[in-house]
Structure 1
Amino acid sequence: MEIRELGGSGTRYVSDLQEGEQLGPLQFCLTPQLLEWYLDGIGELDNPLFRSDGAPCPTVAPPTMVHVAKVKLLHHHFPAGAGPHARMHYRFDNRAHSVARVGEMLTVSGSCTRRYIKRDRPYVDLELLVRGEDGRLIWEYHDTSLLRLAVHGGAHAD
C-alpha cells in the first residue's frame, strides 16, 4: 500500500495533541485489498451496496471507512501510538458528501479543534476532511476522544 507524506511527522503521542494543531495532508490509495479487508472486518464483504454495476468485487467504500483514514493520519503523525495512558473513542459524527471508489487516491487532513478538561478528564476534539483526487469532499468527520481515564476521587490513572 502506498502512503505519501505531504507534511512533516513527529514522534509524539496522540495524547500530546494541542488545540489548533494541523495534521496532514496525507495521501493514500483506496486499493481493492484495503476495501475488502475493511468490509470483511465489519461483516459487509458480500453486501451488494458496495459493488457498482454488478462487479464481482467491492468497488465503493462505505462512509465508516473514514476511520481507516483517521488511523492512517494518526499513525503517520504519532508513530509512538496513543500515549502512556489509555485513550477512549468517546463519540464521532461522519458526513458523507460523495463516494470513494477503488483505485482512487484519497487525501486526509485534520486539525485538533479543541482540547479541554471535563470532570477532571482531558478530552480532545478532532476534525478530519477526506477528499478525492479531483478535490471533491468525500467525508467530513468530527471526533471526541477521552485522553486519560480518571479513577477514584478524580485522580488520574498512571
Structure 2
Amino acid sequence: MELARLLIERRAYREARQWLEPLQETMDHSAEFWDDLGTCWLHTGEPERGEAAIRKALELNPRVKYGQPHLRLASLYAEADKNRAIEALQTYQEVHSSSCESYYRLGRLYEQLGRKEEAGEARNQAVAIYRSLPRYKKREERKWMLKSMLRR
C-alpha cells in the first residue's frame, strides 16, 4: 500500500495500479485505498471506474485526505459538466476551507460559464485566504494565489 502511494506521487499510475488492484477485497473498508485506486484508474484511461472508486472512498469517509478526492472529481467533470464540477469544488471547500486552489478553480469555471462577477469573487477569496494562512501553508498555496491575482 505504501509503495503504491509512492508510485502515485511519482505519477507512475500503471505500476501503482498493479499493486493496488489485488488488494481490493482485503482493503474494502479503507477510504484511502479506494481513493488511491480511483486515482490510478482515472490516470490510466478508466474514468468511470475511477469515479466510482473515488465516490466509494467519499462514502466511507467524506473527509478522506482532507477532501482531495473532491478536487479530483472536479477536474474530471470540468470539461463535460461544469455545474457538477462547481458542486464538487464547493463540497471540497466545506471540508478544506483554506484552499486557494479550490477558489482559483472555481473562478475559472465561473469564468467559462460567463459568470464574471462570481469568478472575480472566487479569485478575491483565494487571495484573502492566502493572506490569512500560516507561513508553512503559504508555500503550498502560493502558486494558486499568484494565478488568482494574475487573472483578476
TM-score above 0.5, yes or no: no
TM-score of the pair, normalised by structure 2: 0.21
Ranked by relative contact order (alpha carbons within 8 Å, sequence separation 6 or more), the top structure is: 1
- Decide which structure has the larger Cα Rg and report it: 1
Structure showing the higher helix proportion among its residues:
2
